Structures are given as C-alpha cells and as structure tokens.
Structure 1
Amino acid sequence: MSTTGNGRLPIRKRITGHRAAARTAGTRRRDDDGLPPPDEGRRWNETLSSAAVILAGVLVVVGFGFVASRAMSSHSEAPNIPVPEAPALGEVTLPSSSVSQGLIPLTSPSPSPSDSSPSPTPTTKAPPDPGALTVTSGAVPGTVDLSAEGSRDWVHWGEQSTFSLERDKKGGFAILEGAPTAPRFRHALSPQQFTWTGGDPVDHTDGTTTGIRTCGKGNGFSISAPAGDTTRTLKLYVGIISGKGRLSAELTTGSASASTTLQQKDGTFHTAVFTLRYRAPKDGKITLRWNTDDAFGTGCGGVALQAATLR
C-alpha cells in the first residue's frame, strides 16, 4: 500500500477502509446480539402481512356464514323483538306495541262511498189534481132575483120566444148554451117568478114564469161556464114534467165529475135548483148536460130550463 510523502495513507483509501471495517464490525455485533440481519427482518414482515390478510379473509367468510345461518333460521321462527312505540302525530296516536309485539295492527278498510251512502229515495210523482165538483138540489124560492144572485153572469130562457135568451149586459157571455139537438118549446108553467135588471135584450122585468122545454127520452140541453183554480158557484133552475131527468157535470181540466136526478111521474110541472160548487186545477170549463132519462105517458114528458146564475 502506498503512502503520501508525510507517511499517511491516502484520504480515499482511508475512508473506504474505515466504512468497510465499520460494516464488518456492525455485522458482527448483530450476530453477537442474536438479531437477524436486515434482509431477514424484511422477509419476516412480509410473511406476517400475508398471514394477517389470509386470517382476515377467513374471519369474513366465517362471519358471513354465521349471518346467513341466522337469517335462514329467522324464517322458521320470528324473533320476539319488541316494536318501539310510535310517537303521536298531531291528535292521532299510533297503536302501542304492547297490543301485539312484533306485529303492526292494520285498521279495517274504510267502506266504499257506495256502501256508506244511503240508497236514493225513489221519487213518486204526485197524482194530477182532479179538481173539485159537488152538486146539490133544492127548492126554488118564490122569487129569484137573477141580477142580484149572478155576480159574474146570469141568463134567462124564453121571455120573448122559444129561442130568446136574456142575459146580463156585463156578464161577458160567461154562461153559454150549446146548440139545440131536439125540438124545444116555450112554456109559462113555472110556479116561481124570475126578475132582473141590467139585462139584454130585455133590460129588466118585475117577474116572469116563462122558460123552455123538450119532449121525449134522450132530449135535453147543454150548458157551459168558465172554471179555474178558485171555487165558483153555478146555480141552474130547472123543471120536469112526466119524466125523469138527469144532470151530469164534469170539468174540462181535471177529472172531477158529479150527477143527480130529478123525477116527476104525473103531468104536474115540478121545479128545482141545482147548486154546483167547483174548482179546476187550471183554467178550463165546466160542462153540464140536463137530459131526459125517461118519459112517462103519451104526452110531452121531459125536462125544462128556466135560468142560471154564476158567482
């Protein structure tokens, strides 16, 4: 080995030799202390890490198997796990778990609207109003003032001739006679008298016993007057001789009707007044038919007509 001029070793060689000696001494010291060399320690750490990873994998597999086993056993028997009591919501409180542990109570299904709603009440149509009509008969007073009695209208038959008709000037032709269907005759057989004022074509009279009549079965007279929803009164002054007469009345609006009879078998002239009270469901007419139902003997038996009033 070469040296420098002052008898020392070169610096490079000196350092290198020192480090080599130190490494040699270090190796020797670890060997002497029982510690593994650095390369062996690194290999040992790698071995422990691999073992830890394998152990963790084994634990995961075992845990998964345990959980799966518990899950499968839950199908056969539900665990008796108490259900926590639900908090109140506003004014409504959910059922407590003490009622049935592990089960959620289900409320009954609400009935459908068709089940809860009442069945509609069947509507019944009210029957049509038939109106009202009554007829009564009575005796005729000795004197009848037609203008005083007939506030709406009045008429008298036969004062001047067989076909004459005296009536109230202001009556508006409320009382009307239908067309004659049989021969008629003027008579003056009435035991009562009829008076009036304000008539046409005869203005007034102090009293008359005249009228008209027919002969034979089936013959007679037809009369009509206004009808409405207020009750009205129609009076018809009639007579009968040697026969049986029938008065029939009905409403043109409505179904109310009425009838009555009057009979006189001998040749005496018998009189009567028919009073009809009536009301119709709406404006219409009342129609009357005064006919001979039967005639007795060989003479001129049948019905007669004197006067009528309306109020």
Structure 2
Amino acid sequence: MADDDVTRASIGGAHRQRPVAAASSPPYGADPARPIPSRSDLRRSARARQRRRWAIHGLIAVVCAAALVAYVNSEFGPGPDDGAAGRDGVPAGVNRPSGLPGADGRDPGTAPVSPGLRPRQRPPSPTPAPPTPSQSASPAAPPVLSVARSDVPDEVDLSAVGSRDWVHWGLKGPDSPVRMRGGSGEIRDEGGTGERDDWDVNQETFRWRGGTPVESSDGTPVGVYTCGAGSGFTLAVTGDGDLRTVHLYAGIWMAKGRLDARLSTGGPTRTVRIEDPHTSQSADFTIRFQVPPGARLVLTWTAEEVFTEDCGGVGIQALALS
C-alpha cells in the first residue's frame, strides 16, 4: 500500500516538474563550440567589414589610376628621340623660350613643352600672300613754261598783281629796288650786262602799298635802263612746285628787245621779241611756269639790236609774282 503511494507521488511529481529540454541541434554551418556573439561584437564586426570594403575600393581606385597613367603614357608619351636630356640634365625642349635658339641647337621655333608630353604639332605656316606692288610716288609733273605778251595798263597796282611777291626798280636809284614787305623773297635780281641808270619818262605808272624801303606810292613812272646792243638784265624767280604766274613790265627805246625764258631744270625755253626803231614801247610779259621746289625760272631781257647811237636799249620797271 505504501509502495503504491510512493509510486503515485513520484508519478505526480514527475508530472508537475518541467521536463528538461533535449539539446537541439546547432544551426547548419555553425560552430557548436563558438559562443553566441553579443550586440557589441556584431557592431565591431560590421565596422571591420566596412573598413575592408573601403580598403578594397581604394585599392581599386589606385589600380584604375595606374592603368590610366599607363594608357596616357603609351598614347602621348615621348618618342624615341624625345627622351634625350640636355647637357644640364633637363629633358631637351623643357622651358626653352620660343623665340631664341636652345643650347642644344634645336630649332628656335619649337615652343616650350612639359616633361613627358610630346610637343603639340605646329600647324603648317600659311602661304605668304604675294607682295603687293608698292604704290610708287606720283611722277613729278613735267615742267611748265609759257610766255605771252600784252600792253601795259596806264596804271599798275603791284600790291594787287603781285600777291606773293613784287619788286619795283628806279625810285631809289638804279641799284636800290623797292620790294614787297613780307613777300616770299622768290624774286632775285641777278644783274646783267651794261651800266644801269634810272629814268622817269615812262608812259605807265606803278603804285603799291606795303613796300620797303618805300612804304607806298600813288603812281610813279620811274624805271631803269641800259644802253647799247647786248646790254640787258637777268632776273630769276624760285619755284615751289606749284604753277606760278610772273608779270614782267619792260620796254625798249629805239631798239629790238629779246626776252629769253628758261628753267634751271632744263626743258622748254621761250623767246619773245619786240621792236621799235623810232620810239619807245612797253610790254607786259606774262610768264606761267611750274618747277620742282628750289628750281628757278630765269629771264634774260637783252637789247638784241639798237637803231640809234643815242642810248638805244632796253629797260625794266617792275616784276610781280602770284
């Protein structure tokens, strides 16, 4: 009886006591001897894996960069002759000024280059345009010379006719002409042959303003003359390249007068004659000329023939330039 109670108690206690769980099998692939990691262990493991990934990425970047450099060097690297160094150990062509020859005798036209890179190929020089024919200076105008004769007006205003310069002879004596004050000075008395004298019986009168040494005249018939065949006057007018007009007021007394006009540069000449065997005669010789600056018009007024022994000859009163 007692044994039955003991047996029931054991069985009842066995029903009340939690049965011990049988040891389960470890997960597939897990090490049964490794302890289960904690959360901190998991975090450390994750960080380690991240660092390994970064290291792998960095290594990949380095490898790619090295491959890129190798590619660039293979495509654009120096040729067989570009690696030669200069005498100073610097690769030839480095930091060479583009306009001066290098120490190694390179072409001065080679532009500076960077080490390890091939110099950029220079484009071909453009074909020079054919030279434009230079415009030659216009040829100098040919000399101009013409002579015309007309009668002298009763009164001549030298200030009006000689806007550039004028000269009057006789008022101050045979060797002291009156000139335009402030004139161009281009009229020159070159002398002549025979002795000069003044006279005051001309039929025409001459007036002026702004003269020197005589300031003005309201009309004077005075002039100068020479006697005898071959006597006469030589006058010159300097040119400036422009066309100029000269008025020579001259006359004869019982003679044949000859006016010769020539240019100091050579070229055309002109000759005009007037003649009166009985009395006096005057003329306005209008000469138009053009010569280079500095060249001259030369006038020679000569008694070619006289018809009296009583001082037949030629005379002049004035010359005006415009």
TM-score (norm 1): 0.57
Q: 1:228 aligned to 2:240?
A: yes
SS at 2:159 equivalent: helix
Residue 281 of structure 2: aligned partner? 270
The superposition leaves residues 8-29 of structure 1 with CA deviations (integer Å, 9 ceiling, x where unpaired) of: xxxxxxxxxxxxxxxxxxxxxx
Does structure 2 retain, via aligned residues, the 8 Å contact 1:189–1:269?
A: no
Computed over aligned residues only, the root mean square deviation of the Cα atoms, in angstroms, reads 1.8
For 1:130 and 1:201, how far apart are their aligned partners in 2? 38
Residue 128 (structure 1) shift: 8.7
Residue 173 (structure 1) shift: 2.0
For 2:242 and 2:223, how far apart are their aligned partners in 1? 31
For 2:191 and 2:233, how far apart are their aligned partners in 1? 8
For 1:310 and 1:185, how far apart are their aligned partners in 2? 24
The amino acid across from 1:260 in the alignment is V
The amino acid across from 2:237 in the alignment is A
Q: Which runs of 4+ in 1 moved over 4 A?
A: 127-130
Residue 162 (structure 1) shift: 2.0
Q: 1:290 aligned to 2:301?
A: yes
Q: 1:204 aligned to 2:211?
A: no
Residue 180 (structure 1) shift: 4.0
Uncovered stretches (5+) of structure 2, i.e. residues with no partner? 1-138
Tell which deviates more after alignment, 193-202 or 181-190.
Answer: 181-190
Residue 183 of structure 2: aligned partner? 171
For 1:264 and 1:290, how far apart are their aligned partners in 2? 15
Does structure 2 retain, via aligned residues, the 8 Å contact 1:253–1:282?
A: no
Residue 187 (structure 1) shift: 0.6
Larger Rg: 1
For 1:217 and 1:135, how far apart are their aligned partners in 2? 23
The amino acid across from 1:302 in the alignment is G
Match of 2:261 among 249, 252, 262: 249
Q: Note closer, same or farther for the CA distance 1:128–1:196 as it changes in structure 2 (3 Å cut).
A: closer
* Pairing 1:84-99 to 2, within 5 Å after superposition: none
Residue 238 (structure 1) shift: 0.3
The superposition leaves residues 91-138 of structure 1 with CA deviations (integer Å, 9 ceiling, x where unpaired) of: xxxxxxxxxxxxxxxxxxxxxxxxxxxxxxxxxxxx996511000000
Residue 16 of structure 1: aligned partner? none
For 1:209 and 1:278, how far apart are their aligned partners in 2? 28
SS at 2:175 equivalent: coil
Q: Note closer, same or farther for the CA distance 1:201–1:282 as it changes in structure 2 (3 Å cut).
A: closer
SS at 2:265 equivalent: coil
For 2:142 and 2:205, how far apart are their aligned partners in 1? 37
TM-score (norm 2): 0.55
Uncovered stretches (5+) of structure 1, i.e. residues with no partner? 1-126
Q: Note closer, same or farther for the CA distance 1:231–1:172 as it changes in structure 2 (3 Å cut).
A: closer
For 1:138 and 1:190, how far apart are their aligned partners in 2? 16
For 1:180 and 1:293, how far apart are their aligned partners in 2? 14
For 2:294 and 2:189, how far apart are their aligned partners in 1? 19
Residue 132 of structure 1: aligned partner? 144
SS at 1:190 equivalent: coil
Identity of aligned residues (%): 39
Does structure 1 retain, via aligned residues, the 8 Å contact 2:186–2:239?
A: no
Does structure 2 retain, via aligned residues, the 8 Å contact 1:130–1:254?
A: no
Residue 269 (structure 1) shift: 1.9
Q: 1:219 aligned to 2:231?
A: yes
Residue 270 of structure 2: aligned partner? 258
Does structure 2 retain, via aligned residues, the 8 Å contact 1:130–1:256?
A: no
Q: 1:152 aligned to 2:153?
A: no
Match of 1:237 among 230, 244, 249: 249
Residue 172 (structure 1) shift: 3.4
For 2:140 and 2:290, how far apart are their aligned partners in 1? 14
The amino acid across from 1:304 in the alignment is G
Does structure 1 retain, via aligned residues, the 8 Å contact 2:199–2:223?
A: yes
Aligned length: 185
For 2:140 and 2:185, how far apart are their aligned partners in 1? 30
For 1:224 and 1:201, how far apart are their aligned partners in 2? 21
Residue 254 (structure 1) shift: 4.0
SS at 1:189 equivalent: coil
For 1:246 and 1:297, how far apart are their aligned partners in 2? 17
